Amino acid sequence: MGPLLRTVELFYDVLSPYSWLGFEVLCRYQNIWNINLQLRPSLIGGIMKDSGNKPPGLLPRKGQYMANDIKLLRHHFQIPIQFPKDFFSVIIEKGSLSAMRFLTAVSLEHPEMLEKASRELWMRVWSRVKFSSEIPIQYHAAAEKAGMSAEQAQGLLEKISTPKVKNQLKETTEAACRYGAFGLPITVAHVDGQTHMIFGSDRMELLAFLLGKLKIQH
């Protein structure tokens, strides 16, 4: 009998660059750490409002730190992440409601494609493509690049405004809030009957410790 498979949930939003970093680390290590990784598309705007938090971009010192931090993390994690030139318009003004509804629809209809579809949207927001959350063709193209057919992509676009998808995104976001989220990403590890909520992408060493994959030398 092999080692016990632990469940780890990742709550994320594609507007969050640190969510992308945490996502890639967990995707890389899920087999090494023997975890059941569950991806949870969530709405960062709803979590910010519920917790009373503010985006880093609205606080100049945080925003400057974040811009410098991302440059370093790009090289450290080998992820092609960079600040959007139209940062305020894309990240602050337009938000991610339609994008996260789209990924919620993917999770409901084609869960096996959620990892690739999520990565494609991060690439569009934080890397190679000028992104607009108002243009459905962005999601259609992302879905096809993730490996879906044109028919599957169109079907997802038709579902993003349905009550089922809206309610699922709302429920997932509320679940993140119940775990104590005040931003994203949060990683929730279920280990030995206990639940641990970890905020951010720079706490993966702590997650490895909780999973028994890292021994601290004293």
Contact 25, 37 (CB under 8 A): no
Cite the active site residues.
16
- Count Cβ atoms below 10 Å from residue 203 Cβ, excluding itself: 16
| Rg from Cα positions in the chain | 17
Paired with 211 in beta bridges are none
Contact 113, 32 (CB under 8 A): no
In DSSP notation, 3-51 reads PPPEEEEEEE-TT-HHHHHHHHHHHHHTTTTTEEEEEEE--HHHHHHHH
In DSSP notation, 85-133 reads TTHIIIIIII-SHHHHHHHHHHHHH-GGGHHHHHHHHHHHHHTSS---T
Tokens coding 72? 């370093």
Contact 114, 39 (CB under 8 A): yes
Tokens coding 165? 């998808």
